[in-house]
Structure 1
Amino acid sequence: MRTNTLTRTLVGAATAAALTAGTLAGASVGFAAPAPTTKTEATVLATVNLGLTTAEARNVQRALAARWGYDGAIDGLLGTDSWKAIQRFLRADFGYTDNIDGIVGPNTIKALQRFLARFYGYTDAIDGDPGPNTRAAFKRMASYCPNACLL
C-alpha cells in the first residue's frame, strides 16, 4: 500500500514538473492567446457611417475623392480617411477648427450639422449629437451625391 502511495506521489510530481516544463511525451500546456488585432479589423471598428448604407457612403466617398483629397477605397465604409476628408471640407466653410484626425467627435458633428442645416434641411440644434435628425439630413445629402452633392 505504501508503495502505491509513493508511486502515485512520484508520478503526480513528475507529471506536474513535466507539464510545467512543457514536456511529457510531447504534451504541453498552452493557453490560447487572443489573436492580435490587424489593421483591417481596426479600420472596420473605426467606421462611422451615421446611418448611411454602403451605397450612400460610396457616393460620399466619390465626392470626397473628387474635391477633398480622399484617396482611399470607395468601399462604402466611412473610416478615418473618409472622415479626415470630411473634416477638410468642413474646415473650409463650416467652422470646423479641430485637428484633421478622422475622429467623429462633437466638433465634427457640429460642423456637419451646420452644413446640413444650410443645404439639406437639418433644423435641430447644432449640438454635436448625431441623433436621428442629423442622420436623416446626412442621408438626404448622400442621396444627392451621385449628381449634385455639395461636398
Structure 2
Amino acid sequence: MRSKSMARTLVTATVICAVGAAGLVTTGTAAAAPSGKQQAAASESVAPLAVVNLGLTSAEAQKVQRWLRTYFNYTGAIDGQLGTESWKAMQRFLRQQAGYTDAIDGIVGPNTIRALQYWLRQANGYTGAIDGIAGAGTQAAFKRFANGLG
C-alpha cells in the first residue's frame, strides 16, 4: 500500500510542477510578446536610421545627390537626406571606382565604408585606416568631396 500511495503522491507532485511550469512559460511568453503598438513604435524609431549623411549637412548631401543623379542613376529626391536610394547610387559608383563587390542594397555597412575610404584616399585626401568605420577622418574627407562638387 505504501508504494501505491507513494506513487500517487509522486505523480500528483509531478503534475502540479508541470502545470506550474506551463503557467510560467505562458506568462513569460505573454510578457515577452510586444503589442502591435510597441511593434509599430519600434519600426518608427528605426526608420530615421536609414538616412546616413556621414557628417554632411543637408546642403552638402544635396550636392552629392545631384552628382549621383548626373552620373550614377540616382532617381530619388534631392532632399539632403542620404537614404537607401542615394546609397544604392553611391554603391554603383564605388563598384566602378573603388572595387566595391558587395550588394547594391543601399545599406551603409562596413564594406560600403571601406570602399568609400579607399576611394576617398585616392581622391580626397583621406589618410586614415581602411577599416569600415566612418570616423572623423572619413567624415571630413567625405565633406571635402561634397564641397568640391560646387
Deviation at 1:130, TM superposition (A): 0.5
| Alignment-mate amino acid for residue 86 of structure 2 | S
Percentage of identical aligned residues: 57
1:144 counterpart (139, 143, 148): 148
Query: Partners in 1 of 2:36 and 2:100 — Cα distance?
Result: 45
5+ residue gaps in structure 2? 1-34
5+ residue gaps in structure 1? 1-30, 147-151
Residue-by-residue CA offset, 1:3-42 (whole Å, 9 max, x unaligned)? xxxxxxxxxxxxxxxxxxxxxxxxxxxx9935846x9976
Whether the 8 Å CA contact 1:44–1:79 is kept in 2: the answer is no
Stretches (4+) displaced over 6 A: none
Residue 79 of structure 2 corresponds to 75
Find out whether 1:113 has 2:117 as its counterpart: yes
Residue 93 of structure 2 corresponds to 89
Whether the 8 Å CA contact 1:68–1:89 is kept in 2: the answer is yes
TM-score, length of structure 1 as denominator length: 0.70
Residue 62 of structure 2 corresponds to 58
Deviation at 1:143, TM superposition (A): 0.4
Deviation at 1:45, TM superposition (A): 2.7
Whether the 8 Å CA contact 1:50–1:130 is kept in 2: the answer is yes
Residue 135 of structure 1 corresponds to 139
TM-score, length of structure 2 as denominator length: 0.70
RMSD after superposition: 2.3
Deviation at 1:124, TM superposition (A): 1.0
Count of residue pairs brought into register by the alignment: 116
